[in-house]
Amino acid sequence: MASSAAIPDLDRLRPPGTKRSSKRDLIVNVFLKQEGHLSADDLVVLTKREDHRISRATVYRSLQWMEEAGIARKVDFGDGRFRFEHSYRHPRHFHLICKTCNRSYEFLSSDIEVLVEEVAVARAFTARQTVVQIYGSCDACTSGTAAEDPVNSELLFARDALRIAIATERSGMEFYGRGVKLVTDPRAREIFRKLATEEVQHLKTLEKRYQELLKQDARLESRPTFLFFKGAANGLFSAGTEQLRRNGVDDLEAYRIGIRCERGSHRFFKRYGEKFEDSEGKRIFLEFAGEEREHLELLIREYRLLVKKHRPQKAGKSRARSKPRRHSA
């Protein structure tokens, strides 16, 4: 499937000291129109179809230039031949590599990202690139069935990003719906009702966006998972909803639980959204992070107001307890 990546501004990406070249621009455009992993020889063949005068050496130099400019990423599948994939508008990912048919399958995992970061921090190591390649046999080779057609990984990324956002929205809707029934302060009840309503509206928007995305690929719904975010699979408010079910949760505690959930959700979507290269999935994550930040700021303001409302009562009770008793003569 052809890539949906837009052509980058080559003047902006050009490494210092290099000049513009019409031949190189053509090679970059040919490269970005392809999906999957290309060898240098593959790119030579494709480029010559556009302009037979371009030499093999020019293609090789252009690939090196694309690496330096951050447009291409070199990958090694262990077969003695380097291949290249997009790194412009293409999410950072890892590979499953079938040693029988030599096909590769991309995936992204937050668990792997976190583990790599933990190891690097523990060893005071500055990581610049993470390469994870898992070798084995794909389902098609194991079962003897036909292999799936190549799929646009950006579509998979957007699909899975929307699935995570939808799961989080549903869990948030359940959380605030339960909160409406739990809190006793009229203003707190109104805030929880407002947020529950917003979650319903956001959920409808995300589900509509998801259905529109599915129209781009008739088999997109059943394609293998690309984005593995275990902790977010059931929605980032699930744990908070369980906490609201406990006995003894008052209005202030309900606010505190909501703040923890919104803060965790905001950090999650912002952190991983900023890690990805420009793509539809990145935009979904950062848009959702912005919505969660607005909810977080609202909850913090309302929590502080409720704390102030309770303080005079507590202060009055404290003064009453400290008033000296009168003793009879």
CATH for the stretch 155-318 = 1.20.1260.10
The region that residue 90 occupies, defined by phi over 0 for left and psi between -120 and 50 for alpha, beta otherwise, is beta
Is residue 176 over pLDDT 90? Answer: yes
pLDDT of the residue at 9: 58
Per residue in 46-100, pLDDT (tens digit) is 999 999 999 999 999 999 888 888 788 888 777 777 888 877 655 667 888 888 8
Maximum average pLDDT range among 29-33, 58-62, 129-133: 58-62
Identify the CA nearest to 160 among candidates 93, 112, 95, 99.
Answer: 93
Point out the least confidently predicted range of 128-132, 139-143, 314-318: 314-318
- 70 Cβ contact list (under 8 Å, min separation 6): 13, 87, 88
pTM above 0.85, yes or no: no
Right CATH number for 91-150 from 3.30.1490.190, 3.40.50.2000, 3.40.50.300, 1.40.20.10?
3.30.1490.190
For the chain, the domains span 1-90, 91-150, 155-318
Q: Which residues face 228 on adjacent strands?
A: 109
pLDDT digits (tens, 9 = 90+) for 191-242: 999 999 999 999 999 999 999 999 999 899 988 888 888 778 778 999 999 9
Q: Tokens 């976190």: give the residue.
A: 114
Q: Highest mean pLDDT: which of 8-17, 63-72, 145-154?
A: 63-72
Average pLDDT, the chain: 84
Place of tokens 């130099």: 61
Residues 62, 18: Cα–Cα separation, whole Å: 11
Q: Residue 52: exposed, middle, or buried by beta-carbon count in 10 A (0-12, 13-18, 19+)?
A: exposed
Name, in order, each residue with C-beta under 8 angstroms of 32's C-beta and a sequence gap of 6 or more.
Answer: 3, 5, 7, 8, 71, 86, 88
* Closest listed residue to residue 243, CA positions, set 301, 179, 170, 168: 179
What is the chain's length?
Answer: 329
Structure confidence at residue 111 (pLDDT): 79
First-to-last alpha carbon distance for the chain, in angstroms, is 98
Residue 23 near residue 58, CB atoms below 8 Å: yes
Q: Give pLDDT tens digits for 273-320.
A: 887 767 788 889 999 999 999 999 999 999 999 999 887 655 555 555
Fold of 1-90: Arc Repressor Mutant, subunit A (1.10.10)
DSSP letters spanning 63-78: HHHHHHHTSEEEEE-S
Q: What is the pLDDT of residue 321?
A: 54
